Structure 1
């Protein structure tokens, strides 16, 4: 039995169509390289965000432990016998320290979020700059 010729592959048909239309050749390696760089930048950005989230969780854990320690100390101080003015003074001091700690902790948490966000965005900005330069370079090659 005679062997039938293999049908032309879809990619071969497309290539032939492009040649017939005199279309410029597409460099698949350049396209793959370009997208690989995009994915690598995205991965770096995600890692920076994840590191920031991890730091934030660690800071929140530290804040909770500190708050629980202070509450324990305050509760022990309140139970101690003493005059009412002394007791009120201890409570006011505890409230003041708690408020200051909350402000300090909120500021530190905000700074962690700001830094990780800025780092993540800078990775993507740098990739955009590189990408734009790659586009300019490809146009310069064609001229």
Structure 2
């Protein structure tokens, strides 16, 4: 290669330069195992979240059915009443009952969502803590020779 004073780095042997640096050897097996555990934890957390969403949707469906049944029953009863005063009293009582039921259902759904979130985030949090502990294994020397077992004959 010709000497070029404008580009002195062209003459440099990069392998010699890099060999002077102490680069750590990365244990690829440890990194891959750690990432597999990460994927497993995310899958597990997602599964719990999905199951929680299904439970919430099921509960919401039950609440809607119950609300429709309550309103239908009240409407039928109100038609049978003779006076406007009785209808107003029954309507107010029904509204109060429906309101209390809706409030209780809201708290129930909130509790279900909170438990689902806590469980899913707990799985992720545990895995993050474990993976931070595993970082030291990334730079440990891999087993150079597998353990040999012999059997006595």
| Shared fold per TM-score greater than 0.5 | yes
In structure 1, the partner of 2:128 is 128
1:19-40: CA deviation from partner (whole Å, max 9, x where unpaired): x735332221111101000001
Counterparts of residues 82-97 of structure 1 (less than 5 Å): 82-97=82-97
Name the CA distance, whole Å, in 2 between partners of 1:89 and 1:136.
72
Report whether the alignment pairs 1:113 with 2:108. Answer: no
Q: What residue is the counterpart of 1:27 in the other structure?
A: 27
1:48 aligns with 2:48: yes
Distance 1:55 1:73 in 2: 27
Which structure ranks higher in relative contact order (CA pairs < 8 Å, sequence separation ≥ 6)?
A: 2
C-alpha RMSD of the superposition: 1.8
How many angstroms apart in 2 are the aligned matches of 1:30 and 1:89?
A: 72
Deviation at 1:69, TM superposition (A): 0.4
Which digits, 9 at most, give the CA deviation of each residue in 1:62-110, with x for residues without a partner? 0000001001101101110322221111101110011001101100111
Moved more, 26-35 or 79-88: 79-88
Count of aligned residue pairs for this structure pair: 123
Matches of 1:51 and 1:81 in 2, distance apart? 45
Q: How far has the Cα of 1:48 moved from its partner?
A: 1.3
**Aligned twin of 2:104:** 104
Equivalent in the alignment of 1:72: 72
Give the aligned partner of residue 36 of structure 2.
Answer: 36
Return 130-139 or 113-122, whichever deviates more: 130-139
Map of 2:147 onto structure 1? none
The runs of 5 or more residues in structure 2 that have no matched partner are 1-14, 142-153
The CA distance in 1 between the partners of 2:138 and 2:56, in whole Å, is 42
User: Where is the helix percentage greater, Structure 1 or Structure 2?
Assistant: 1
